[in-house]
Amino acid sequence: MNWYNIKNIAESNTTEVMIYDEIGMWGVDAKSFIEEIKSIPNNNSILLRINSPGGSVIDGLAIFDALNRLPQKVTSRIEGLAASMASYIALAGDVKKAYDNAIYMIHNASG
């Protein structure tokens, strides 16, 4: 099972991208994620749903940059936890949202 999921929502011209697990070596690498988001139709907006404890800084930076390069409008929505690298990826959205009970955790990177 992938640590992300991409699903077109036809009735709203929105593509839902879910990051609901660790980022990077514990799941699927950034290369696979980036290849899949390239297939999102240009006329669709993107809803980036995040519930992740974070993970690889290198994979996360590549994902952040790829999301920023997309021509579509990206809305980031934290649905539970955006910690560590996931908190950085959440900043890739043109619009950033979080539920009232969401947790957003930033810390100094370690390696």
Residues taking part in catalysis: 84, 107
Residues 6+ apart with CB under 8 A from 57: 85, 109, 111
For residues 35 and 66, give the distance between their C-alpha atoms in angstroms, rounded to a whole number: 10
Evaluate whether 19 touches 4 at the Cβ level (below 8 Å): yes
Q: What angle do CA 36, 58, 34 make, to 5 degrees?
A: 10
CA nearest 41: which of 70, 5, 11, 19?
A: 70
Give the total residue count for the chain. 111
